[in-house]
Structure 1
Amino acid sequence: MLTLRYNPATLRFECCEDNVIYPLTSGTKFNLYCDDEDIVVAGRIEHHNVNGYYFIDTQGYVTYLYSGMLGTLD
């Protein structure tokens, strides 16, 4: 499972696993782990100029990203 973190130097979110960093950009396929329901939701990372980075699932639901979220790259 990858952990999201915001990098203020690049103004982007990154995934971290075992000291390997994967930068996320618009269109990156990502599977977001929802810990309250213990499920993984498929979708992609997108960016809005005002609101920043967010996750959009295959049904169109939007979740804004924050450091500490878990998931996997597709």
Structure 2
Amino acid sequence: MAAASVAFNGIVLEALRYDNYENWSVLLKNYLTGQGLWDVVSASATKSGDEDWRKKNAKALHAIQLSCGLVLLLE
């Protein structure tokens, strides 16, 4: 079996791997900043019962998960 990594295009160029964290993190930060979501990740936004924070948090988490890619097992 071979493994292939797929990144969601438009967020980062390559999915996160053990050897590309520095480049990946810069690209992801730029994306989140451009989408107005970096404040949630950097903990500078108010959370608790704030509905706006929850929505932004969900969007940021989704982008992070997509940019980590998924592993496809090919037979």
Normalised-by-shorter TM-score class: under 0.3
Instruction: Give TM-score scaled by structure 1 length.
Output: 0.25
More helix by share: 2
Greater relative contact order structure (CA < 8 Å, 6+ sep):
2
More strand by share: 1
- Greater radius of gyration (CA): 2
Instruction: Give TM-score scaled by structure 2 length.
Output: 0.25
